[in-house]
Amino acid sequence: MSDKRFLAIDLGAASGRIFVGSWNGTQFGLSELHRFANSPAKILGHWHWDVLGLWSEIMNGLSRYRREYGPSIAGIGVDGWGIDFALLDSSGCLLGNPYGYRDPRTDGMAAAVFAEISEQDLFSETGNQSSQMNTLFQLFSMVRGKNIQLEVAHTMLTIPDLFTYWLCAEKAVEYTSATTTEMLRKGRMEWSLDLLRRLRIPSRILPRLATPGSVLAPLRAEIAAEAGLSPSPTVFAVAAHDTASAVAAIPDMDVESAFISSGTWSLIGVETSAPVTTQEAFQLGFTNEGGVNGSVLLLRMVAGLWMLQECMRRWHLQGHAYTWQGLIQMTNGAEPFRSLINPEAAEFLAPVNMLLAICSFCEATNQPKPGTLAEFVRCCIESLSLCYREIIESLDQLAGRRLSVIRVVGGGSQNQLLCQLTADATGRMVVAGPVEAAALGNIMMQAVAAGDVADASEGRRIITASVQRAIFKPRTGDAWDEAYSRFRALPAKSMDLR
C-alpha cells in the first residue's frame, strides 16, 4: 500500500518544526520538512511571542509540502508548549501578541493569589503545582491590573490551540494543553468554574475542551487554496501539549520507567492512571498533567538546556558561534564537579546575562566561578544530572519502588554527555530517543483520530518498532555521591514559589 502522510506542526519555546509523518500500515516514518527559530521579544519591558511570525513560517511549511510531496495530505495536527495563551475578540481576531511565561507581570502574583485561595487548596482542586508562570497566575495579573484586553476578550486559546484555530476555524482548548493552565478540575475534563469565580477570572473566555485523538474540522478553504492542498485535509486534535505528545511516543514505557522530556525545559516524571495529590506529592513539588488514553503525567519541571542555550546566546553576542557538539567536546579533560548550581533556583528563570547569573550563584555559595567555556558547560550539565537524581529518587519514594530505567526523549536525548552523566548520577540505565518524540506522538494521535490505529497504546507499540534508541549504562564511582551531597546543600529551590 502507498504511504499515508500526516503533517505535524511542533512548536517549542526555542524553535518550531514541521514534520511529514508517513504511515504504511505497519510503521511510522518521520521526515523534517521545515525548521525555524522561535524566541520571545522584549518590548517596553515585557516579553511577547511573535505568533504572526510563527504563522508565516507555518504557511511556508504548507507551501513547501505542496512543492515536495504534492497536493494530497491526510491530516494536520499542532502541538506546542503549555501555559501561555492568546486572547481573541468576539470576531475571532487576536487581541495583541501573547505574553511569554517569563514576563515580569506575574511577579508578586503568588502572594496575591494565595491570599484568595491557599496553595494547598489549589493543588487539591487542580492537581497542579502553583507557579507564577501558570495561566491562572497570568490571567489573575490581568484581573488585578484591569487589563483592557481581558475586559473585552471573548475567547482564550492556549498557544497550540491558537494555531489550530487559525488553521481550521475551530475554537477549542485541547485537554492535555488545558491541564497546564492550573484551571482544570483534577482528573476531569472540565474547567474549575468555582476557582475562576473566586479569582474573578471571567469564565466566558473559556471554550470547549477537545479530546486528544479527535477530529476537529477541515483546513480553511482559503489556506488550502493558498498552499495548493487539495482536497482540503482534516485538522485533528492531537496531544497539543508537547510533553504529553512526547511521552505518548516513548517506546517501552512501563511501570518500571521514568521519563525525561529534555529540551529547553526538562520534565521528569512517570505515567499514572490517576492524579496523585497527596501531601507528600505536594511537598515534593510534583504536578499532574494530562496524557493520552486517560493517563496522568506525574512530573516535575526544571530549567533544562535553557541555561546552556542562554550561555550560547551570550557567547554569540560576544562573536563566538559554538555548536552543541563543539561545546561538549571542549569538556574533555575539564575538572569534574568544580562548580555546581541549582537549576530550579529563581536566579536562572530569566536573567539578563546567564553567565553572570551562574558566576554570582557560585560566588554566593562559596564555590569557584566558572572561567572557561568547558567549566560553564560542565557546571550546567553536571548540575542538571544531579537535579535529575534528586527528582528520580523522589519519584521512587512516591511510587514505593525503585524505577530502574530512565527514558529520555527530545532534543536533549542527542546530548550524549548529558545522557551518560544522567546514568552515572542516578545509577540507572538511560535509554535515549526518539529525538523528535513530540512530532511522532503528534503523528500517531492523528492516525488514531483517522481510524488507522486503534488507540495510543497500539500506536506506542508501533513506534517502538519504528525507531532506534541509544543505551547508556551507569559507571560506578564515589565522586557522584560526594557531588550529590554538595548539590543538596545548595540553597533551596525557589521557582515553585515556596
Q: Which residues are known to be catalytic? A: 242
Closest to 239 (Cα-Cα) out of 462, 448, 21: 448
CA 445 to the chain's CA centroid: 17
- DSSP secondary structure of 90-157: TTS-B-SPPBPTT-GGGTTHHHHHHHHS-HHHHHHHHSPPP-TTSHHHHHHHHHHTT-HHHHH--EEE
Helices of type H across 400-478? 416-426, 437-449, 456-464
- DSSP secondary structure of 342-382: -TTSGGGTS-S-HHHHHHHHHHHTT-PPP-SHHHHHHHHHH
- DSSP secondary structure of 224-238: HHHHT-SSPPEEEE-
Distances (CA, A) of 323 to 311, 330, 369: 12, 11, 23
Residues in the chain: 498
- Please give the radius of gyration of the chain, using alpha carbons only, rounded to the nearest integer: 22
Find out whether 26 and 445 touch, Cβ atoms under 8 Å: no
Query: Residue 404 gets which letter from DSSP?
Result: -
Query: CA-to-CA distance for 248 and 92, rounded, in angstroms?
Result: 32
Backbone dihedral angles phi then psi of residue 167, each to the nearest 5 degrees: -75, -40
**Residue 200 CB burial class (10 angstroms; 0-12, 13-18, ≥19):** exposed
Query: CA-to-CA distance for 257 and 270, rounded, in angstroms?
Result: 7
Strand order in the sheet with 429-432: 287-290, 296-303, 265-272, 257-262, 405-409, 429-432, 470-472
Residue 241's CB is within 10 A of a number of other CB atoms, namely: 31
Distances (CA, A) of 255 to 222, 271, 399: 47, 8, 9
Query: Residue 241 gets which letter from DSSP?
Result: B
**Residue 283 CB burial class (10 angstroms; 0-12, 13-18, ≥19):** exposed
Closest to 238 (Cα-Cα) out of 442, 49, 463: 442
What's the grid cell of residue 113? Answer: 493569589
Backbone dihedral angles phi then psi of residue 260, each to the nearest 5 degrees: -130, 115
